[in-house]
Structures are given as C-alpha cells and as structure tokens.
C-alpha cells in the first residue's frame, strides 16, 4: 500500500470514528458519556507505560498563583529556551526582566537529570466566556503544565527530579527578581492579597564590596562569612540552629555602615527590611512584622542605641539630644523623627531579644540581621552577645588602603605622586571615608585628579588644625573643670573643718554643764547613783 493510499484510509477511518462519536454523544445521556470516558482512560492506562502529572497555575487557594507552577515556569524558561520553538514573553510580577517561557501547547524534552527522559508540555483550558474575570490577568484561560515520564523512572521523578525542578526554578526566580527595600514606618498596607505592615520600593543601591573602602583582608573575611552563611542550610540544620546570622556594625558616623549593608544585599541578592523600631507600637506588632519578612532578606535596625533604651524604657529626650551632637544633619533629622514617634512606641529590650532569637525568629530562615551603632559601648551586652550578633564589625576612620579604593573609584587612579603625603596624613589624622570621598569627587569639569588630591590634602590639613584647636579647647575645658573641682573640694574641706571645730567647742561646754548637774544630784561622774 502506498503512502498516499494509507493516509486516505486513515483519514476515512478517523472520519468514521468522529461520526460514531457524534452519534454516541447525541443519543446517550451525559452521565453515560462520562462513565465511558472514565473507563476508556483506565483501560488505556493499563497498557500505557507513561505517567503524567498536571500542575495547574491556579489551585483555588485565594486565587493565588501556584508556587509550583511559577517555579516550573522559571525552570522551563531556562531549560526550554534553546529547545522550544515557540516561546512567549511575559512581564511577571516582581521580576526585573522579561520571562521567556514555552508558549501554549508547546512540548519540550528534558534529559538533563540523572539520565532520565521526561516531557513537559504547556496547555490551557478555555472555559465559556464569563461576565468578569476571576484571575487578575484579564482572561480566564486555565493554564497548566503536564509532566510525562516512563513508569520505570517514577522513583527518580518523585524522589529527586521534582525537587530539583522546584529548587532550580526558585533559584532562577531569586536571581531574576526585582529586589525590594521594605520599610515599616507607613503603617498597615494593602498589597493586593492581604494586609501587611511593610511597604516597599525597588532596591537600587549601587554600593558593592568592590566600591567599599576598607582593608582588603577584612573585606574578604566579611564576604567569605556572608557567602558561607548562604551555603550552610544543611549545616545549620545539623547543629540545630535557626538559619540566621547577626552582624553588628559599629563606628563613627560616615565610616560606611549603611553603605556596607547595601553592599551585603547586592552581594547576596537579598531584599532589605529597614526596621524603624520607633514606629513599632509594641512587642506584638514587632512579632507581626517579623512573620511578614520573607527569607533571603537582610533585616536592618539602624542606630540601635537611639531606638531603644537598654533597660527596656525609652530614652529621655534630653539624653538623646546630647547624643545628636556632632552627627551629620541627616542622622540628626532621623533622630528627631524617631523622637517624635517615640512616645507611642512600647517595644522593650526583651521584645527585641525575642525578635532576634526567640522561637518566632526561626520562621522563614535564611535571614541576616544587622544592627548599626555609633556607640557600641552603650549597648546592653545581652543584645550583642554572640548568637544574637554573631559577628562584630568595626568600621574605622579612613586608612591608606581604604583611600586607595576611593581613589580608584572616584578618580580612576591606582597611583599618584601625592599618595605618600596622603598616606602620612591619614596615619596621623582621623578622617572618615565619607569626608575623603567628598573631597575626591570632582566639583567641576576642570577638576582633574591633581586638583582633587590637592583638595583632599587641604581638607586633611584643615581637619588637623581643627582637631588641634578642639583638643586644646578640650584640654582647657578639662583644666577648668579640674580647677572647679579642686575649689569645690577645698571649700567642702574647709566647711567640714569649721563644723568639726564648732562641734568640739559645743561638746566642751556641754561636758562642763553635765559635771555640774551630776554633783548637784549626788550622782557619781560615771553615772552610778551614790546610795546613802
Ligand atoms: N567605607 C566606605 N566606602 C565607600 N564609601 C563610603 C565609605 N564610608 C562612607 N562612604 C561614603 O560616605 C557616605 C556616607 O556613608 P554611610 O552612610 O555608609 O555612613 P554611616 O557609617 O552609615 O554613617 P551614620 O553612622 O551617620 O549612619 C556614603 O554615601 C558613601 O558614599
Ligand atoms: Mg548609616
């Protein structure tokens, strides 16, 4: 039989079958049709060596998109793009770029895992038109993926392949997601599905560990610490510890604490949750906020010493005003804002400790908590003990190595004649990386590297003079206080001596008087009455 003849025969057989099916549908009731379909499928599955799993996009739970579907979509977007011929591009929620995935009714084969072969297909059901759409995207197509594989591979598929797909999918999602900076100071928000205490913007801070000015060794150590943490899921499980790590960043203002947090977030590709403690009403609200934080995130509490009094009570306004001295205007403003909201906040130290390492802190996993402070010595040891704040990092005034990073970043220079002079000046003077950075930045198109370096030298010299004047002033003040103290002590001593003198002379008179009285009453001087 020729090919043409065969096709003709197949065509007519199919037409015949369709006709019989149409007659069947017309004359038999719906229930019987359902039964026939069910048993035909059962019969077919007896002889069919393949198993099929379906993953629906929406599984009915609050009309939320299925996480498994999303993970498969990402997995297939990476796996299928070089194999599938028809792709569709979508701007998926929270993703920073277009997501390419298989178009409807496309099928790809995946042979990448442990030598097994599986088939993925994307399908959709289009229900009858409705008045309004239940699924946010404006159409009611119910999409689903089907995974088909041979019976003999079912152990591998159920046991490992599916979790491999989920893990890979989630990892791709994390890599391509739009990272966010969350904050809690706007009260409760509605994010489309539910109420949340956090509001967010896209996190776009450009700082990286490359641009961070600090000693190379210290930088590497911190980066290693962070990366080791992200890879230690199983290790933390083994030792029975919640998968989280605390960092305490301390140092004078302008030494790069906030910049380092941004660099950490960019290195690990984590979201940032900037927790404004003073805007939290009480410990219960703090716990609610904690539960709402997703994994792969950095929780930041800036200026912890100003947010919470260490005895559990809020700081007195006066004390805080004193602390504000000498800080840059931005921090001062921040502090003023905090003070305003302080009155209504009742978060206590124990509430915060619970937040960091209480039972609730373990939910979510893979979190980093960062505290920053300018005054580490003021913090309660309970707050910063290892286990809560595991790694203490001191951000210092600008050293020569840090300066070289800034010179490379700001002026694109690796060396310069003035480097030696600057090295000496930095060793002798305390200047923050923020000040160095500001002076290295060209202020006009004519400012070249020479001009910026000269600017910096001027600034350090000026700072040196100022520091000298300040030190002298301080010394004078010290002398003055010392003088006053000495005077006070002297006056006190004199006063005391005078009192003692007066007391003594008073007692002498009294003694004489007593003697006289005793004689008059016939009593001996030792107080015993003389009997007749
Ligand atoms: N180590 C650093 N590396 C690179 N830039 C830095 C560094 N330190 C400070 N800067 C620059 O100075 C600016 C202020 O630094 P940053 O806000 O990180 O200081 P901070 O330590 O958080 O200060 P504060 O205690 O006042 O919050 C940054 O915008 C950055 O440009
Ligand atoms: Mg800061």
* Interval 292-307: pLDDT, tens: 898 889 999 999 888 7
Averaged pLDDT for residues 267-285: 90
449-520 vs 400-411: helix axis angle to the nearest 10?
A: 140
Ligand 1 binding pocket mutation candidate from 206, 255, 404 (most atoms within 8 A of CB):
255
Paired with 120 in beta bridges are 108, 147
| Most ligand 1 atoms within 8 A of CB, residue of 251, 254, 371, 395 to mutate | 254
- For the cut 70, the answer to whether the pLDDT of residue 524 exceeds it is no
The percentage of residues in the chain with a pLDDT greater than 90, rounded to a whole number, is: 40
Select the more confidently predicted residue: 334 or 483: 483
Q: Is 213 in the pocket of ligand 1 (CB under 6 A)?
A: yes
Question: Please, are residues 243 and 232 in contact by the beta-carbon 8 Å criterion?
Answer: yes
d(CA 73, ligand 2 centre) in Å? 39
What's the pLDDT score for residue 236?
92
Contact 450, 414 (CB under 8 A): no
pLDDT at 508: 66
**Confidence band of 250 (pLDDT split at 50, 70, 90):** very high
256 lines ligand 1 (CB under 6 A): yes
Q: In this structure, how many other beta carbons lie within 10 angstroms of the beta carbon of residue 234? A: 9
As a whole number of angstroms, the distance between CA 23 and CA 19 comes to: 6
Classify 74 as helix, strand or coil. Answer: helix
Is there an atom of ligand 1 within 6 Å of 374 CB? yes
Please tell me the distance between residue 278's alpha carbon and the centre of ligand 1 in angstroms: 23
Closest ligand to Cα 436? 1
**Which DSSP string do the residues of 80-134 spell out, in sequence order?**
HTTT-SSEEEE--TTBSSPEEEEPTT-EEEE--STT--EEEEEEEE-PPP-SS-S
The bound ligand whose nearest atom lies closest to the alpha carbon of 327 is 1
Report which DSSP code applies to 139.
-
Q: How many angstroms separate the CA atoms of 340 and 320, rounded?
A: 12
Rounded distance between C-alpha atoms, residue 359 and residue 361, angstroms: 6
The tokens for 145 are 């993926």
Q: How far, in whole angstroms, is CA 484 from its chain's centroid? A: 50
| C-alpha–C-alpha distance, residues 86 and 104, integer Å | 8
Q: Residue 349: how many CB atoms within 10 A of its CB?
A: 16
Under the banding of pLDDT at 50, 70 and 90, the label for residue 247 is very high
Looking from the CA of residue 211, the nearest atom of ligand 1 is 4
Which residue has the least CA distance to atom 31 on ligand 1? 434
Mean pLDDT of 449-469: 90
Cα of 432 from ligand 1 centre, angstroms: 8
Residue 328, ligand 1, Cβ within 6 A: yes
Mean pLDDT of 326-345: 54
Nearest CA to ligand 1 atom 25: 253
0.90 surpassed by complex ipTM: yes
Cα(461) to ligand 1 centroid in Å equals 21
Going by alpha carbons, the residue nearest to atom 17 of ligand 1 is: 258
Ligand nearest to the CA of 335: 1
Binding site membership of 331 for ligand 1 (Cβ less than 6 Å): yes
- Token pair listed for 387: 């286990």
- Taking the C-alpha atoms of residue 146 and residue 72, their distance in angstroms, rounded to an integer, is 10
Alpha carbon of 358 to ligand 1 centroid (Å): 32
Asked if residue 257 has its Cβ within 6 Å of ligand 1, the reply is: yes
Q: Name the packing angle between helices 216-230 and 257-268 (round to 10°).
A: 40
For the chain, give percent helix, strand, coil, nearest 5: 50, 15, 35
Q: Which ligand is nearest to the CA of 331?
A: 1
Edge to edge, what strands does the sheet with 118-125 contain? Answer: 50-56, 142-150, 118-125, 107-110
DSSP state letter for 480: H
Cβ–ligand 1 distance for 212 under 6 Å, the answer yes
Listed in sequence order, the residues at least 6 apart from 313 whose beta carbon sits closer than 8 Å to its beta carbon are 348
Q: Which atom of ligand 1 is nearest to the CA of 374?
A: 25
Mutational test site, ligand 1, from 251, 256, 323, max ligand atoms within 8 Å of CB = 256
Ligand 1 closest atom vs CA 327: 26
Is the CB of 434 inside a 6 Å radius of any atom of ligand 1?
Answer: yes
Q: Which ligand is nearest to the CA of 397?
A: 1
pTM: 0.69
Tell me how far the alpha carbon of residue 342 lies from the centroid of ligand 2, in angstroms. 20
| Ranges 211-225, 361-375, 494-508, most confident | 211-225
- State both tokens at 521: 């009453």
CB 120, CB 108: distance < 8 Å = yes
Q: Is the pLDDT of residue 424 over 90?
A: yes
Can you give the length of the chain in residues? Answer: 532
State the average pLDDT over residues 362-384.
88
Across 64-85, average pLDDT: 79
C-alpha dist (Å) from residue 236 to 15, 134, 229, 240, 247: 64, 42, 9, 6, 17
In the structure, what pLDDT confidence band is assigned to residue 10 with cuts at 50, 70 and 90?
low
Q: Tokens 């060794």: give the residue.
A: 217
The string of pLDDT tens digits covering residues 114-165 is: 989 999 999 988 776 655 555 544 456 788 999 999 999 999 999 899 999 9
Check if 210 has its Cβ closer than 6 Å to any atom of ligand 1. Answer: no
Closest ligand relative to 255 C-alpha: 1
Dist CA 223 CA 267 (whole Å)? 8
Contacts of 35 (CB under 8 A, 6+ apart): none
Contacts of residue 324, Cβ cutoff 8 Å, sequence gap at least 6: 331, 332, 335, 336
If you compute the radius of gyration of the chain from its CA atoms, what whole number of angstroms results? 38
pLDDT at 411: 93
CB 57 within 8 A of CB 143: yes
Instruction: Find the ligand nearest to 222 CA.
Output: 1
Ligand 1 atom at shortest distance from the alpha carbon of 251: 21
Task: Check if the beta carbon of residue 252 is closer than 8 Å to that of residue 376.
Answer: no
d(CA 254, CA 431): 9
Q: Which atom of ligand 1 is nearest to the CA of 434?
A: 12
User: For residues 262-279, b (16+ Cβ closer than 10 Å) or e, as one string?
Assistant: bbbbbbbebbbbbbbbbb
CA distances from 427 to 319, 398, 403, 406, 532 (A): 33, 9, 11, 16, 95
The mean pLDDT of the chain is 81
Q: What is the pLDDT of residue 317?
A: 40
- 123 closest CA partner among 197, 72, 175, 78: 72
Q: Is the minimum distance from the CB of 255 to ligand 1 under 6 angstroms?
A: yes
Atom of ligand 1 nearest to the CA of 330: 26
Regarding the beta carbon of 254 and ligand 1, being less than 6 Å apart is answered: yes
Query: Which among 433, 435, 438 is the best mutation to test ligand 1's pocket, defined by most ligand atoms within 8 Å of the CB?
Result: 433
In DSSP notation, 150-200 reads: EGGGHHHIIIIIHHHHHHHHHHHHHHHBPPEEEE-TT--EE-SSSEES-EE
Going by their DSSP bridges, the two strands 87-90 and 99-102 should be labelled as antiparallel
Asked whether residue 402 carries a pLDDT value surpassing 60, the answer given is: yes
* pLDDT winner (highest mean) among 200-204, 390-394, 516-520: 390-394
């Amino acid at each position: 039989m020729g090919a043409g003849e065969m096709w003709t025969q197949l065509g007519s057989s199919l037409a015949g079958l369709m006709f019989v099916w149409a007659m069947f549908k017309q004359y038999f009731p719906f229930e019987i049709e359902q039964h026939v379909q069910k048993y035909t499928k059962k019969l077919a599955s007896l002889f069919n060596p393949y198993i099929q799993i379906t993953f629906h996009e929406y599984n009915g739970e609050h009309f939320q998109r299925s996480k498994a579907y999303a993970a498969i979509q990402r997995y297939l977007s990476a796996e299928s793009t070089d194999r599938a011929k028809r792709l569709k591009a979508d701007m998926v929620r929270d993703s920073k770029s277009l997501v390419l995935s298989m178009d409807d009714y496309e099928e790809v084969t995946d042979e990448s895992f442990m030598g097994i072969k599986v088939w993925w297909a994307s399908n959709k059901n289009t229900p009858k038109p409705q008045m309004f759409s239940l699924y946010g995207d404006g159409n009611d197509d119910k999409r689903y993926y089907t995974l088909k594989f041979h019976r003999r591979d079912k152990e591998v598929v159920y046991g490992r392949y599916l979790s491999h797909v989920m893990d890979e999918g989630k990892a791709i999602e994390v890599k391509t997601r739009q990272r966010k900076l969350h904050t809690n100071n706007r009260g409760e928000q509605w994010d489309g599905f539910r109420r949340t205490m956090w509001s967010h913007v896209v996190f776009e801070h450009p700082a990286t560990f490359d641009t961070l000015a600090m000693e190379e060794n210290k930088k590497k150590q911190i980066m290693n610490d962070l990366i080791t943490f992200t890879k230690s899921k199983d290790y933390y499980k083994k030792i029975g510890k919640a998968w989280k790590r605390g960092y305490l960043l301390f140092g004078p203002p302008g030494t790069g604490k906030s910049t380092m947090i941004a660099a950490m977030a960019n290195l690990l590709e984590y979201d940032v949750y900037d927790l404004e403690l003073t805007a939290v009403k009480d410990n219960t609200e703090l716990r609610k906020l904690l539960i709402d934080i997703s994994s792969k995130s950095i929780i930041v509490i800036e200026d912890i010493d100003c947010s919470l009094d260490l005895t559990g009570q809020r700081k007195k306004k006066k004390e805080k005003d004193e602390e504000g001295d000498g800080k840059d205007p931005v921090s001062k403003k921040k502090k003023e804002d905090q003070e305003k909201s302080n009155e209504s906040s009742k978060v206590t130290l124990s509430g915060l400790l619970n937040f960091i390492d209480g039972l609730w802190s373990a939910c979510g996993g893979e979190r980093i908590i960062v505290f920053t402070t300018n005054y580490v010595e003021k913090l309660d040891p309970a707050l910063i003990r290892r286990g809560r704040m595991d790694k203490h990092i001191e951000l210092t005034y600008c050293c020569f190595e840090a300066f070289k990073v800034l010179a490379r970043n700001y002026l694109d220079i690796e060396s310069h004649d003035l480097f030696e002079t600057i090295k000496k000046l930095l060793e002798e003077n305390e200047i923050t990386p923020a000040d160095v950075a500001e002076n290295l930045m060209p202020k006009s198109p004519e400012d070249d590297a020479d001009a910026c370096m000269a600017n910096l030298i001027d600034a350090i010299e000026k700072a040196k003079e100022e520091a000298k004047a300040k030190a002298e002033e301080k010394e004078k003040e010290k002398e003055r206080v010392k003088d006053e103290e000495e005077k006070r002590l002297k006056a006190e001593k004199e006063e005391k001596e005078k009192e003692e003198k007066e007391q003594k002379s008073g007692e002498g008179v009294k003694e004489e008087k007593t003697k006289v009285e005793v004689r008059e009453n016939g009593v001996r001087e030792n107080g015993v009455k003389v009997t007749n």
